[in-house]
């Protein structure tokens, strides 16, 4: 028996699992397929690494998809405060920013990675092998016994932590190999789809709109077949891309609708440009503006209510004569403008691909994993952590907390 623990994958969850197991005296082998571990970790949060959020457990769980209750036990032992202390004890100064998001004070994700990798490299119980791809996991009588490498080498062990990540950002090494290995061992894998990702729409986005940022807006999603409200975002920021919608509130919205879009459903996104006003309040404001600016022509006067970048798009959708003076705008046209400002419609037809998705939605079914230890309920000695699990969350540090907490739970258990 060469090692107590083999950790397959050097991302956030795998690194934490290896650190935790090694600190408890286990002989650990970390296998990383890329030439460097932690590639995705080092680019997360646009290179700043939003590693957790200081919200309470009660306020955190609603931000997590699938069955958030699965995390209660792991979070009860290693949650945001424990994670922050872990990094602070290793010299990483942290700051809390808007939305209770926690970042390294240096603004560098590299510092988070270095704290983890230095912890491993300074421990004599740890061996790290890079450029090493695991092909399969060997079992005997439902007990994990070894990993088989791509080039045929067999390495035996008592415990295996599968931490290969999901499918998002494949250039960092996330190719979905862990899902294949889990299926080969009998696990159910909920089909992975991109999450926290830009949404494609049917409408043509004008050149003026691309990359333009809107602030203090709100997005609602409706089912086209029943016209029922599926989701309403908080008030926040968004941007446009050349084929659809992007930015913070869109990313959060995508987590709710991505699966429906990937099975071919069509949804309507309704963008409220004036969420601080009721339709009645907005209509009164429009009446006052129309009366006060009666001689201005419509396409010029739209600047009263819209940023210049949206005006060409608005003119195409409103079907109101460009050069009509405001004192000639009738009641139907005013109400049409009011409805548009409160709900600019976009027909959603898909999402951007894995190269742009921040996380993966789907993964190994949670009822097949022990929530206390992350051990498989099907294969003894096999632990499944991080993005491989059917767990994903909103932006704000919640996804990395899942990775660190599940990795820590597995590291403790082995």
Q: Where do the domains of the chain lie? A: 3-193+355-413, 198-351
CA–CA gap between residue 244 and residue 246 (Å, rounded): 7
Domain 3-193+355-413 has CATH 3.50.50.60: yes
Beta carbons within 10 angstroms of residue 224's beta carbon: 12
CB of 302 within 8 A of CB of 313? no
pTM: predicted TM-score of the whole model, two decimal places? 0.93
Tokens standing for residue 43: 């680019």
Burial pattern 330-350, b for ≥16 Cβ within 10 A else e, equals eeebbebbbebbbbbebebbb
Which candidate, 397, 398, 389, 359, places its Cα nearest to that of 371? 389
> Which pLDDT value is given to residue 1?
53
> Which pLDDT value is given to residue 227?
83
Burial class (CB in 10 A: 0-12, 13-18, 19+), 291: exposed
* SS3 call for 205: coil
What element of type H or E holds 286?
helix 279-292
How confident is the prediction along the chain (414 residues), in pLDDT tens digits per residue?
579 999 999 999 999 999 999 999 999 999 999 999 999 999 998 899 999 999 999 999 999 988 999 999 999 999 999 999 999 999 999 999 999 999 999 999 999 999 999 999 999 999 999 999 999 999 999 999 999 999 999 999 999 999 999 999 988 888 999 999 999 999 999 999 999 999 999 999 999 999 999 999 999 999 988 889 999 999 999 999 999 999 999 999 999 999 999 988 889 999 999 999 999 999 999 999 999 999 999 999 999 999 999 999 999 999 999 999 999 999 999 999 999 999 999 999 999 999 999 999 999 999 999 999 999 999 999 999 999 999 999 999 999 999 999 999 999 999
> Which pLDDT value is given to residue 2?
79
């Amino acid at each position: 028996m060469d090692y107590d623990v083999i950790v397959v994958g050097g991302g956030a969850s795998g690194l934490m699992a290896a650190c935790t197991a090694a600190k408890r005296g286990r002989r650990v082998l970390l296998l990383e397929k890329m030439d460097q571990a932690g590639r995705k970790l080092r680019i997360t949060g646009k290179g700043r690494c939003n590693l957790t959020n200081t919200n309470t457990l009660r306020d955190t769980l609603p931000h997590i998809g699938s069955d958030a209750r699965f995390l209660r036990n792991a979070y009860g032992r290693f949650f945001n405060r424990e994670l922050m202390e872990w990094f602070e004890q290793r010299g990483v100064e942290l700051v809390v920013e808007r939305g209770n998001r926690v970042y390294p004070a240096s603004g560098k994700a590299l510092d988070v990675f270095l704290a983890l990798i230095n912890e491993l490299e300074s421990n004599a119980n740890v061996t790290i092998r890079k450029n090493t791809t695991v092909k399969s996991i060997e079992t005997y009588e439902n007990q994990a016994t070894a990993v088989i490498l791509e080039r045929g080498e067999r390495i035996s062990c008592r415990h295996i932590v599968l931490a290969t990540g999901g499918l998002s950002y494949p250039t960092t090494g996330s190719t979905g190999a862990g899902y294949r290995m889990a299926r080969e061992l009998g696990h159910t894998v909920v089909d992975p789809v991109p999450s926290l990702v830009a949404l494609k729409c049917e409408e043509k986005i004008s050149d003026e709109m691309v990359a333009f940022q809107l602030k203090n807006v709100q997005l609602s999603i409706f089912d086209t077949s029943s016209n029922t409200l599926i989701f309403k975002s908080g008030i926040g920021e968004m941007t446009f891309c050349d084929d659809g919608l992007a930015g913070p509130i869109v990313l959060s919205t995508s987590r709710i609708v991505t699966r429906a879009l990937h099975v071919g459903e069509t949804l309507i996104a309704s963008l409220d440009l004036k969420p601080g006003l009721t339709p009645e309040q907005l209509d009164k404001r429009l009446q006052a503006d129309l009366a006060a600016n009666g001689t201005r022509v419509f396409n010029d006067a739209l600047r009263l209510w819209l940023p210049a970048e949206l005006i060409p798009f608005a003119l195409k959708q409103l079907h109101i004569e460009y050069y009509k003076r405001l004192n000639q705008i009738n009641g139907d046209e005013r109400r049409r403008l009011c409805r548009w400002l409160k709900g600019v419609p976009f027909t959603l037809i898909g999402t951007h691909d894995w190269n742009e998705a921040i996380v993966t939605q789907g993964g190994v079914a949670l009822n097949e994993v022990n929530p206390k230890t992350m051990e498989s309920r099907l294969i003894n000695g096999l632990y499944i952590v991080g993005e491989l699990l059917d767990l994903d969350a909103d932006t704000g540090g919640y996804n990395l907390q899942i990775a660190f907490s599940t990795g820590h739970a597995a590291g403790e258990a082995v």
